[in-house]
Structure formats: C-alpha cells, structure tokens
C-alpha cells in the first residue's frame, strides 16, 4: 500500500515537474521569439537607414557639390 | 510487528498529507490576499502584466526610373518626458541639455508647460548621437519614442514633384498625396504577457498581427536629367533676371515625363511678379506651375496650325503667300497684323521658318472655325493631361460660341489661347512621333504597357513639319539654340505678358519660350522651356532666352542617355 502511495506521489511529482519544465520552456521560447523579432525589426530599420545614407552620399546633387569642391581644391 | 510498522507509515503519510494540505491552503490564501489586497510597498513595485505595442508599418519608397530613392521612410527617435515623475525640472533639464543640442532653459520650459500631463515632447527628432547619449543617462522620467521620418535623399530638385507627408505620415502634396493609398503602410499589433522585468511570458497567436509595408512607387522621372534641367533653368533665370521659369522634359516614344522643374525668382521693384505664397510655408507645398499656370504660347503654337493647314491641303510648303514687304498685314475684317521682320511675298515653308504672323493669319483664314477648333482639340489643348498630380488646369480656350475671325487669326499666332507647359510638351510629342499625341505619364512605362495615343496629323505631314522645324534651327528663329552635338527641331515663342488686372498686354514685358525635340531623325526627347518675364534690357526673345536652356539640357541629357552625337563638336570648333 505504502509503495503504491509513494509510487503515485512520485509519478504526480514527476508529471508536475515535467509540466513545469515545459511551461518554462514555452516562456523562454516566447521571450526569445519576441527578442529576435525586435532585433529583426531593429536591423531592418538600420538597413533602411543605411540605404538612405548611401543614396544621399551618391546623389547627383552631392556628387556635383563634391566635384565643385575638388575643382576648387585643385585650383588652389 | 508488521502491523505496528504499517500503522506508523499510515500516520506519517496522513501527517505529511496534512502538512502539504495546510501549506497549500496557506499559499492559496496568500495568493488571494496578494491579488485582492496587496501591501502598499508591493503596490508601488507592481507593473501591468499586459503590454501592447503597434509595430510601425513603413511607408513605401518613391523611386526614380532607375530605382534611385526619391523619398524613403526611416525610423527616428522622439524624446519625451513624463512631467508627473519629475521632482526637479531644472536638474533634469541640465542633465538632458548635456545629451542633446538644446538649452536647459528651453527644456525646462517644455516640461513646465505640460507639468499637468504625463507627456511632454522635448525634441521631435534626435540625431543618432543624441539618442545614444539620452539612452546612456537612463533617467526614469525620460522616454524615447520611435517615429517615422520621411527623407528625400536626392535633395531639393525633385521635392516639389514628390510633395511631403504630414505629422501622421500621410501624403499632403505631390506624389505623396496622389499615391497615398499605395504608399501607406499598415501598423501591426503585438499583445504580450510580461513579467516585472519586462521579459515576455506569453504571446497568443491572436495577439499578433504583423505590420504591412506600403508599396513602392516608381516614377518616370530621372534624377540626373531633373538636376540637369533644374541647374540650366536656374542659371538662365538669373542670367536674364526673369521672374521665374519652367521646364519639362518628355520622352516622346512613351509619353514619360523625365524631368519637370518650376522655379521662381523674387525680384524687388517689379509689378505682377509670379508668386506662390504656399512656397513660403514649405517649398513642397507650392503649386507646380508646369501643370497649374497656363501661359500664352505665342509662336511656339504655329507648328500645330501649320501642320493641320498643310494636312488639309489648304496650303503647300512651296506656295507663295502675299505677305507684306514693309507694313503690317491687314485682314479682310480690318485687323492689322505685325511681323517682327518683313520679308515680302514668302512661301508657306518660310512662314514657319521665319515665324511670320502675317502668313499664319492668311492661311488661318482658309480654315473654317470648326477645323481650327478640331486642330486645337486633336493636339490635346483645352483639356488636362491627367498625369495624376493635383491642381492641373485645362488651359484657356475661347469657347466655340464666342469664336470669331479675330480669334481664328489670333490662335494661329498662339494668342488668345493659354496652355500649360505640360500640354505644350505633350502636343509637340506628335512631331517627334508619327503624328499621334501620347498620354503623358509620371509613372515608369514598362515594356508591354499599353500606349494611349490620340491621332493629330498623318505621319507624312509630321515628317514634313519636323523637317521644316529642323530648318527653324538653322535658318530661322532657333539659330542661337542650335546644338553642336545633335540636330534639333524646334520653335521659339515670344508672347507679350498679359496684364492681370486689366485687359491688354504689357508693351515691354514678355513670356519667352522654346520647344524642341532631338535628334531630328529619331527623336528621343522633347524639351520645353518657358521663361517668365525676362528683363528686356538683357534679352527677351524666346530663341535667345529659353532656346539656349533647351539646347544645353538636350545636349547633357542625350549624352547622359547614351545617344551618340550626330555632329562632331570638335571638328566644328576647329572649322570655326
């Protein structure tokens, strides 16, 4: 009888621990997903910013201004 | 022995069960107590466990025909303070002033002004450095909020066409407004369960909706040609001290607008200056006069009447007309028509080459009123081009009920009619094509897209008119605008400036224009330049003021497009 009770208690304990572990894993996974999502969005925004920076640096207006500057520099 | 041991185990088991039960009950009671009546010190530390965020749906990009970014959205940082958490505004202002480029007094004033609220914006857009500095401070009442920023990387030359977005990131003017539906993105939603340390505990699938990015819009504009056109127009306006100027560059084969610029030059002491009060608020809010403000085309309108009269067989190029030798021509109804120069009896071809008003009036009287009105309509005048930008006008055309013999002769010379630069460029495309007028477009034309055209004159008449317009550049009023690299065909126009408040015209103020296409035998571009009210003391004829602008833009743009020069510029320089 005692063995049976101990066996039941042990089984329930193990089951509870397993459930807790699964739950914890779920929480960790949700946290990681959200963090990764945030990082993805942040990197995407960074890429957008870099695209715009490149476009500004290579725009005809900027290049013209730089050419004029270089010509002035050469003349001096 | 066995029995007593068994009963002891039972007692221990029951005791253990009781202890666990009491412990569980106590824990449950504590949970209920914490939930319904938490102690004050814990209340202060408690946080909302549900967090809701709205991921920003970015606005689509506006691109030029080569895929260069004309307008794009990036995410910037906005700095705000929660005044309800601020104990000493002065101290906080000094701390923030070290991190951002603002004076402590200004920051403090902003906090105090909204002291009764929980949100005071300190700076609308932080630089990356400022943002990092503020984050390093880790001040509790200070927050950084993300916001979308619309950037025009190509600078000022395209900004009027692109327009602008408002504080809600919706288009207010220009392309931004026209293509609002396509460009605008949709914000998403993210609801999550979090702990006190802001770590995510749970996200339900129904609590997440991803944001949608707006679609990109690719225009027909070419940034390089736009810059070339703007620069040459700007120089010409300053050179002749004009009130302003407009330029349109069109690819006739597709009707795509490659460049469109409209500049104003505020001059002191000049009456009836072209103005635009909206530009003072923001240049991007100003109207685009290339499609809103009609002007009298003057002699640049003659090729249209010339080609229709020829097409109808009412005059042949070598027919001699009785044009006057020294005095103005008098119409049968008594109107006196002056020419800039009197050449005596001249051929119908010479009438166009030398831009003779008398010859145009003589032949215009052979056309019925209906024929003339049809000609004007067939070339697309009197109706908007419908390129999609707001504020476009249809020009000014005398209604058929009021059309008189006087109107008939006036229209033949480009008077008593007002057209927008876009209409003019569109109509002239007929001579660069096969006599059909293309639908102008501001969106990139992709191979296979249907072309909408309207027939104006036959291909034979078109070829003939183009040849004569080529002679205008070598023997006529366009000589000063002829290129050293390409053969142009074009026409100049010098119309008197109409008075706004009264009937009639200024005697000594003009609208000078020039329109041309090139290369002559396989036209790639059509360019129109209109110079508003150039200083007569410097120059005022269309061929002298606007012609060189068209030529310079044509040379630069065709070279950029890789069109091989027909003439050898170096050889010509050596010959001269």
CATH number at residue B565: 3.40.710.10
pTM of the predicted protein model: 0.84
| ipTM topping 0.90 | no
Q: Do A51 and B156 touch (CB under 8 A)?
A: no
Q: Do B200 and A35 touch (CB under 8 A)?
A: yes
Same domain, B453 and B487: yes
Same domain, B280 and B199: no
**Last residue in a domain, options B165, B199, B218:** B218
Nearest to B79 by CA among B109, B105, B99: B99
Query: Total structural domains in chain B?
Result: 3
Whether B304 is covered by a domain: the verdict is yes
Residues B107, B97 contacting (CB under 8 angstroms): yes
CB proximity B68 to A under 8 Å? yes
B437 CB burial (10 A radius; 0-12, 13-18, 19+): buried
Nearest to B219 by CA among B165, B292, B154: B154
Beta-bridge mates of residue B217: B62
pLDDT at site B380: 94
Same domain, B142 and B192: no
pLDDT at site B572: 52
Nearest beta carbon to residue B227 from set A1, A33, A61 = A61
Coil, helix or strand for B274? Answer: coil
* pLDDT, mean of residues A20-25: 93
CA of A54: which chain B residue's CA is closest?
B153
pLDDT at site A74: 81
Same domain, B492 and B522: yes
Whether B487 is covered by a domain: the verdict is yes
- pLDDT at residue A33 is higher than 60: yes
Query: CA angle, B461 as apex, B455 and B463 as ends, to 5°?
Result: 105
- Tokens, residue B209: 């909706």
CA distance B461 to chain A (A): 40
CA distance A39 to chain B (A): 13
Question: Using CB atoms and an 8 Å cut-off, which of residues 105-164 of chain B contact chain A?
Answer: 151, 153-157
Helix boundaries (H) for B153-260: 159-162, 174-178, 180-183, 223-239
Which residue ranges in chain B fall short of pLDDT 70? 1-3, 44-47, 502, 568-576
B485 CB burial (10 A radius; 0-12, 13-18, 19+): buried
- Tokens, residue B464: 């003939």
**Last residue in a domain, options B121, B147, B173:** B147
Nearest to B158 by CA among B279, B70, B60, B61: B70
CA distance B184 to chain A (A): 16
How close are the terminal C-alpha atoms of chain A, in Å?
Answer: 104
Same domain, B399 and B257: yes
pLDDT at site B69: 94
pLDDT at site B2: 56
Nearest beta carbon to residue A60 from set B13, B199, B224 = B224
Q: Find the CATH number of the domain harbouring B206.
A: 3.90.1310.10
Same domain, B208 and B238: no
Mean pLDDT of chain B: 89
Residues B395, B414 contacting (CB under 8 angstroms): no
Whether B20 is covered by a domain: the verdict is no
Nearest beta carbon to residue A49 from set B74, B157, B224 = B74
Whether B7 is covered by a domain: the verdict is no
Distance (Å, whole) CA B413 – CA B181? 44
CA distance B257 to chain A (A): 19
Distance (Å, whole) CA B46 – CA B457? 81
Same domain, B167 and B302: no
Question: Using CB atoms and an 8 Å cut-off, which of residues 6-25 of chain A contact chain B?
Answer: none
Same domain, B263 and B404: yes
CB proximity B50 to A under 8 Å? no
Question: Using CB atoms and an 8 Å cut-off, which of residues 313-352 of chain B contact chain A?
Answer: none
Whether B32 is covered by a domain: the verdict is no
Nearest beta carbon to residue A55 from set B69, B157, B202 = B69
Q: Do A59 and B154 touch (CB under 8 A)?
A: yes
Same domain, B200 and B277: no
CA distance B155 to chain A (A): 7
Coil, helix or strand for B302? Answer: helix
Same domain, B251 and B347: yes
CA of B62: which chain A residue's CA is closest?
A52
A26 CB neighbours in chain B (<8 A) are 202
How many Cβ atoms sit within 10 Å of the Cβ of residue B558?
21
Whether B26 is covered by a domain: the verdict is no
Same domain, B167 and B139: no
**Last residue in a domain, options B147, B175, B193:** B147
A64 CB neighbours in chain B (<8 A) are 227
Q: Do B199 and A33 touch (CB under 8 A)?
A: no
Whether B17 is covered by a domain: the verdict is no
B157 CB neighbours in chain A (<8 A) are 61
Residue with tokens 């008594």: B334
CA distance B154 to chain A (A): 5
pLDDT at site B575: 46
Whether B52 is covered by a domain: the verdict is yes
Nearest to B556 by CA among B319, B232, B238: B232
Same domain, B188 and B229: no
CA distance A22 to chain B (A): 13
What is the extent of the structural domain holding B126? 74-147
Alpha-carbon dihedral sign for residues B557, B559, B563, B568:
positive
């Amino acid at each position: 009888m005692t063995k049976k009770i101990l066996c039941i208690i042990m089984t329930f304990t193990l089951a509870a621990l397993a459930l807790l572990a699964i739950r914890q894993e779920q929480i960790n996974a949700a946290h990681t997903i959200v963090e990764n999502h945030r990082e993805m969005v942040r990197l995407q925004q960074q890429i957008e910013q870099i695209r715009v920076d490149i476009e500004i640096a290579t725009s005809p207006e900027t290049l013209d201004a730089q050419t004029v500057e270089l010509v002035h520099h050469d003349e001096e | 022995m066995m029995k007593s041991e068994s009963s002891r185990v039972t007692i221990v088991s029951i005791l253990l069960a009781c202890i666990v039960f009491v412990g569980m009950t106590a824990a449950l009671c504590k949970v209920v107590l914490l939930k319904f009546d938490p102690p004050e010190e814990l209340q202060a530390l408690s946080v909302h466990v549900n967090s809701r965020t709205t991921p920003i749906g970015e606005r689509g990009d506006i691109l030029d025909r080569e895929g260069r970014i004309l307008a794009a959205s990036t995410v910037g940082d906005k700095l705000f303070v929660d005044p309800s958490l601020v104990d000493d505004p002065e101290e906080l202002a000094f701390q923030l002033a070290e991190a951002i480029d603002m004076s402590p007094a200004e920051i403090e004033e902003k906090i105090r002004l909204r002291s009764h609220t929980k949100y005071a914006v300190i700076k609308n857009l932080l630089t990356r450095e400022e943002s990092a500095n503020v984050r390093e401070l880790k001040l509790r009442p200070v927050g950084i909020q993300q916001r979308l920023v619309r950037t025009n990387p190509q600078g000022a030359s395209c900004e009027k066409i692109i327009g602008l977005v408002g504080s809600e990131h919706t288009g207010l003017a220009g392309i931004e407004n026209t293509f609002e539906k396509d460009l605008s993105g949709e914000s998403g939603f993210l609801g999550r369960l979090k702990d006190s340390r802001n770590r995510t505990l749970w996200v339900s699938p129904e609590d997440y909706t991803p944001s949608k990015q707006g679609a990109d819009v690719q225009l027909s504009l070419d940034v390089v040609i736009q810059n070339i056109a703007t620069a040459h127009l700007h120089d010409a306006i300053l050179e002749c001290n004009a009130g302003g100027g407009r330029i349109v560059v069109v690819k006739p084969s597709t009707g795509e607008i490659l460049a469109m610029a409209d500049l104003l030059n505020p001059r002191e002491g000049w009456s009836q200056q072209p103005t635009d009060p909206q530009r003072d608020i923001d240049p991007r809010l100003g109207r685009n006069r290339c499609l809103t403000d009609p002007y009298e085309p003057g002699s640049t309108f003659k090729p249209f009447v010339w080609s229709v009269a020829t097409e109808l067989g009412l005059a042949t190029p070598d027919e001699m007309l009785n044009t006057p030798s020294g005095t103005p021509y008098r119409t049968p109804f008594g109107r006196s028509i002056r020419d800039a120069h009197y050449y005596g009896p001249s051929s119908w071809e010479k009438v166009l080459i030398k831009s003779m008003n008398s010859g145009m009036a003589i032949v215009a009287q052979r056309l019925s009123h209906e024929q003339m009105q049809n000609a004007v309509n067939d070339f697309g005048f009197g109706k908007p081009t419908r390129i999609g930008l707001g504020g476009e006008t249809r020009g000014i055309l005398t209604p058929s009920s009021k059309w008189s013999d006087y109107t008939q002769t006036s229209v033949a010379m480009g008077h008593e009619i007002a057209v927008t630069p876009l209409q003019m460029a569109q109509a002239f495309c007929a001579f660069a094509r096969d006599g059909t007028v293309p639908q102008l477009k501001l969106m990139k034309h992709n191979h296979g897209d249907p072309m909408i055209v309207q027939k104006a004159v036959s291909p034979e008449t078109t070829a003939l008119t183009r040849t004569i317009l080529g002679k205008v550049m070598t023997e006529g009023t366009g000589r000063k605008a002829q290129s050293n690299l390409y053969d142009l065909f074009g026409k100049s126009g010098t119309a008197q400036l109409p008075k706004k408040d009264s009937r009639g015209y200024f005697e000594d103020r003009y609208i000078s224009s020039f329109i041309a296409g090139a290369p002559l035998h396989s036209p790639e571009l059509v360019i129109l330049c209109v110079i508003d009210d150039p200083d007569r003391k410097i120059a005022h004829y269309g061929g002298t003021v606007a012609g060189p602008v068209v030529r310079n833009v044509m040379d630069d743009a065709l070279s950029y497009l890789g069109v091989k020069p027909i003439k050898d510029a170096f050889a010509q320089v050596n010959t001269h």
